Amino acid sequence: MPRRLIPAEPAEVADALAQWRAGTAGRPERKVLVKHYLALLQERAPGASVEVRVPPYAAVQVIEGVRHTRGTPPAVVETDADTWIGLAVGDAAWTDDLPVSVSGERTDLSRYLPLG
């Protein structure tokens, strides 16, 4: 079974988010935020039918349904770190014209976002 991500400490998230909003976040801050919000998504939408990818930081499987175990997942959501963080904190909406690639069923994450 894949290892589940664990949400980051609140102070670490607050510091990284402040830097991200100020436009000064580097790779370490983005990594903290991406993994933190993917961990929250795993908690909010447990399951393994959709793979959410934010390369190069992390990927998680979420949403109930047919479990994916090998090969290319039947449902994939992929985006960059800044877009994912914006969606997770509510600075962007799922319906906005964003660089998000989706394929397969159950890839509309709007009911789970924002996360924090």
- Average per-residue pLDDT for the chain: 92
AA letter at 51: E
Domain regions of the chain by residue span: 10-112
Residue 66: pLDDT above 80? no
Residue 31: pLDDT above 90? yes
Domain 10-112 has CATH 3.90.79.10: no
The least confident of 47-51, 65-69, 81-85 is 65-69
Per-residue burial over 42-73, b if 16 or more Cβ lie within 10 Å, else e, is: beebeebbbbbbbeebbbbbbbeeeebeeeeb
- In this prediction the pTM is 0.93
Residue 81: pLDDT above 60? yes
Question: Mean pLDDT, to the nearest integer, of 42-68?
Answer: 90
